[in-house]
Amino acid sequence: MSNATHDDETLGELDALYLRRAIALSAEARRRGNRPFGAVIADAHGRVLAEASNRNGESGDCTAHAEVNALRLAGPLHGREVLAGATMYASGEPCVMCAGAIFWSGIRRVVFGIDAVSLRRFRGAVGRQQDLELSCRQVFEASPQRFVVHGPCLLEEAAAPHEGAWET
Ligand SMILES: [Zn+2]
C-alpha cells in the first residue's frame, strides 16, 4: 500500500491523534451493533468540535453515518467560518453521501483511514453491503472549491475494526 505510506508521512501529530480517535470510535460503534465507522471534527487550532460514530444499527437510520452524525453535532454549535478551517477525520473514506454533506458543511480538509477499495474486501459479495463505486475525491473534484484530502492513512489500524464485521 504505497499510497498509505505516502499519506502517513503527510500527517501531522494532531492529525494522527484525531484519526486514531476516529478509529477508536469505529471500534466502539461495532461493539454497539453498528458498522465500524467513527469521525472527529477539529478546528484550525486543533480543538475538537464534534465526534461521533456510525449509528445505523442502533437507530435504523440509513443516513446515520459517523461523518453525518458529527456534522449534525458541529453545525448548530459552530459558524461556517469555523467549519471552513476545520478538518474531518474519518476512520473510513467518506461515502458519496458523507462527501456531499462535508461539501455542504464548508469543511475543506479531510483525513481518512481505510479507503473505499480496501473496504470492499471486507464488505464481500453481499449485495446490500456494496457501496457506490465513487471515491470521495471524485465528489470533491466536482466542487468549485479546492479540497485537501489525505488518505488512506494508518491503514492497518483503520482496517482492524472491520475484520469479521461484515459477515452478517
Ligand atoms: Zn457515509
Q: How far apart are CA 33 and CA 73, in angstroms?
A: 21
Using DSSP, state whether 77 is helix, strand or coil. helix
Q: What is the pLDDT of residue 166?
A: 86
Residue 135 Cα to ligand 1 middle (Å): 11
* Local structure of residue 150 (DSSP, 8 states): E
Q: How far apart are CA 25 and CA 73, in angstroms?
A: 15
Residue 7 Cα to ligand 1 middle (Å): 21
CB atoms within 10 A of CB 68: 23
Q: How far apart are CA 63 and CA 69, in angstroms?
A: 9
Confidence category of residue 6, pLDDT binned at 50, 70, 90: low
Among 15-29, 101-115, 119-133, 154-168, the minimum mean pLDDT is found in 119-133
CB atoms within 10 A of CB 101: 22
- Per the annotation, the verdict on 67 as an active-site residue is yes
Residue 89 Cα to ligand 1 middle (Å): 12
Average pLDDT, the chain: 92
Q: What is the pLDDT of residues 55-105, one digit of tens each?
A: 999 999 999 999 999 999 999 999 999 999 999 999 999 999 999 999 999
Record the pTM. Answer: 0.93
pLDDT of 5 strictly over 60: no
Q: What is the pLDDT of residue 61?
A: 96
Residue type for 27, please? A
Which residues surround the ion ligand 1 when the cut-off is CB under 5 Å? 65, 95, 97-98
- Residues pairing with 111 in the sheet: 89, 150
pLDDT of 20 strictly over 80: yes
Q: How far apart are CA 25 and CA 121, in angstroms?
A: 21
**What number is the average pLDDT over the span 142-168?**
93
Residue 96 Cα to ligand 1 middle (Å): 7
Confidence category of residue 110, pLDDT binned at 50, 70, 90: very high
Q: How far apart are CA 98 and CA 16, in angstroms?
A: 21
**What number is the average pLDDT over the span 128-146?**
90
Q: Looking at 9, 13, 58, 67, which residue is catalytic?
A: 67
Q: How far apart are CA 23 and CA 20, in angstroms?
A: 5
Classify residue 61 as left (phi > 0), alpha (psi -120 to 50) or beta. Answer: beta
